[in-house]
Chains A and B, each alone.
Chain A
């Protein structure tokens, strides 16, 4: 039971981080391999704000999220927007991998390779409910993820800009023919994807020790989640994020933590064997 609750709470944060990745892929057909290191960059932003400026981790997000949005917009404008043609998706892996290496190297230089963890009063304290102990940070992280994902949902389904994003997700040429500025939508989506990832980075940094190399482990998990959920499917990222982490936690408790990491990928192999398009993906003629 505890593992199940833990899985849902942690999984929602993974879902938040993976949503950024799948949004970027859905609109732009770009696989942003740098998403893992961008989570860590978000964590380091929070680390700097809390240790050097004494700003609360959640309050600090008011700075981190816009800052990460700007980072995303700059990466998109300078590097990603130049990718065109049929090789675009494949090239995006190489380009964003190079970006990831540069960010990782810079973070190592600035913060050293020592592991860090974000601290605040709610990071180490728990409360008890029905005999189960809930660490505050997991609950707050869950609420943050739910809040941000709900805001994203409202933006996508209740606003004109959201409609233009969904139209661009579906068919870029048709979107351009009704007057949607697909380039602008792409830039903003990349910024949004990186921004919400940065928010996830704060929770990740508060619940795990991290250094710049942690991004590599994260990106494999995030890619697994969006492939399982269906590439480009926002709902899929949410369900798959929670499912994967819950399965991992339950396997860790019931069998052994040694098997828990592997269970992540076993779930992927089993689901893809039955549904190659992922849980909520659609088979399409899109060629990567």
Chain B
């Protein structure tokens, strides 16, 4: 497990979309350097929570502290400048623009062309698809390839915190595995990752920390292993408690986390 220094602190966060609170007094900490996965049933507030981090949703009450800055009330642009980048749930590449243009836009806030060039080279080394399909329109890529280009784009700002909202959505099982491997790779390259996933079991396996949200409240938090093996949580959300290397019986899988 990564060194446990607090990086992001959610403190008494209430947030919603005008029709009542989706998040109700959410309090937990994201340790620095690890992968933290938030799991929970549909409607539990997972995506809303991520939107409060990136500034797309403004909490009604509470604070979100990132490196001594309170993110509440900041614009998405200001939050980006602090080094917090979000890859949204829906594909967000500009389809008519080339792959390279898309990736370069990831460094839109960086003015120095040399810095952009060197980061682009670094990203190309990590994601060969960016070099291979540089001049192709982003819209011509498959769903999995687009996701990788989105990851590449988000790294152009050299973020300290990468926020991923259901990156596995719409991916086939093979692409899914390579996507999760890439998440781990980004983490090993020094990024703290905050992840929301419906594929809870796979996500928790690679996570250092897990948080279970239920109806806008934090139901449980602990190490990824603890959450994965918690008997009650396992039964409710993960299709039965299991150890890391034993697959759950198919009949008890209620959320089909692992399409493979």
Contacts and interface: CB of A to CB of B under 8 A. Distances in A.
Are A and B physically bound partners?
Answer: yes
Interface of A: 160, 163-164, 166-167, 170-171, 173-181
Contacts of B92: 171, 173-174, 177
Contacts of A176: 76-77
Interface string B156-178: 01000000000000000000000
Nearest to A176: B76
Given A163-B97, A170-B94, A176-B76, 8 more contacts: A166-B96, A166-B97, A174-B88, A177-B76, A177-B80, A177-B88, A179-B76, A180-B108
A164 B108 contact: yes
Among A173, A179, A181, chain B packs the most CB atoms within 10 A around the CB of: A179
B242 interface: no
Interface in B85-99: 86, 88, 92-97
Given A163-B104, A171-B92, A174-B92, A179 B109 contact: yes
A166 B96 CA distance: 9
A58 B172 CA distance: 60
Nearest to A164: B108
Contacts of A177: 54, 56, 76, 80, 86, 88, 92
A109 to B, nearest CB: 42
A163 B96 contact: no
Given A163-B101, A163-B105, A179 B94 contact: no
Chain B interface, DSSP helix/strand/loop, else mixed: loop
Nearest to B156: A178
B106 interface: yes
B153 interface: yes
14 contacts: A160-B108, A163-B97, A163-B101, A164-B105, A170-B96, A171-B92, A174-B92, A174-B93, A177-B76, A177-B86, A177-B88, A178-B106, A178-B153, A179-B108
Nearest to A282: B96
Contacts, number: 52
B96 A179 contact: no
Contacts of B81: 179
Contacts of A160: 108
Among A170, A175, A177, chain B packs the most CB atoms within 10 A around the CB of: A177
A181 B108 CA distance: 10
Contacts of A166: 94, 96-97
B96 A178 contact: no
B97 A170 contact: yes
Interface string B121-164: 00000000000000000000000000000000100010000000
Among B97, B153, B157, chain A packs the most CB atoms within 10 A around the CB of: B97
A166 B98 CA distance: 12
A170 B138 CA distance: 12
Contacts of B109: 179
Nearest to B81: A179
A164 B106 CA distance: 11
Contacts of A173: 56, 88, 92
Interface string B61-96: 000000000000000110011000010100011111
Contacts of A179: 76-77, 80-81, 108-109, 157
Nearest to A181: B77
A176 B80 CA distance: 10
Nearest to B116: A160
A189 to B, nearest CB: 16
A170 B81 CA distance: 23
Given A163-B101, A163-B105, A179-B109, A174 B77 contact: no
Contacts of A178: 80, 105-106, 108, 153
A252 to B, nearest CB: 37
Nearest to A167: B94
A96 to B, nearest CB: 27
Nearest to B76: A176
B114 to A, nearest CB: 14
Contacts of A163: 97, 101, 104-105
A156 to B, nearest CB: 11
A176 B105 CA distance: 11
Contacts of A164: 105, 108
* 7 tightest A-B CB contacts, nearest first: A174-B92, A179-B109, A170-B94, A179-B80, A179-B108, A178-B105, A179-B77
A178 B104 CA distance: 10
A238 B41 CA distance: 51
A183 to B, nearest CB: 10
A224 to B, nearest CB: 25
A174 B95 CA distance: 11
A175 B92 CA distance: 9
Contacts of B86: 177
Among B93, B108, B157, chain A packs the most CB atoms within 10 A around the CB of: B108
Contacts of B106: 178
B19 to A, nearest CB: 15
